Amino acid sequence: MLETLRNAWKVKEIRNKILFTLFIILIFRIGSVIPVPYIDVAALKSANETGATNEFFSYLSILTGGGLEYGAIFAMSVTPYINSSIIIQLLCVAIPYLERLQKEGEEGQKRLAQITRYTTVLLALIQRTAYFI
């Protein structure tokens, strides 16, 4: 296995991809501990520890990798994108326009990806409101 990694490191394209992936992981981990501005972290932690919401917030915290406990910038992780991707795929069966886009080939797939990104932003706004209010 070490020989495989050593050989992969020698190829510039693979080395760049590995370094980019490590950089993205580093950025994500840093963003997962930086709290969102104007969020009262102490109030958020006390809300998580008291009352009937404890189980609910514990579950959400598990889903967000612990970032929800202190209102981190990347607390929602990739959840909105995954959810919107699933929603768009399911809507392709129900909405004829999306079904046509799915069958159009590369251009249709690009348009579906764009629709998925817009849905991701909308879903992220809805989820962040539900998480932090």
CB 80 within 8 A of CB 120: yes
d(CA 44, CA 65): 16
Paired strand residues for 35: 72
pLDDT in tens, 32-80: 888 888 877 777 777 666 655 567 777 777 777 777 777 788 878 888 8
pLDDT in tens, 4-38: 888 888 889 999 999 999 999 999 888 888 888 88
Domain spans in the chain, listed from the N-terminal domain onward: 78-133
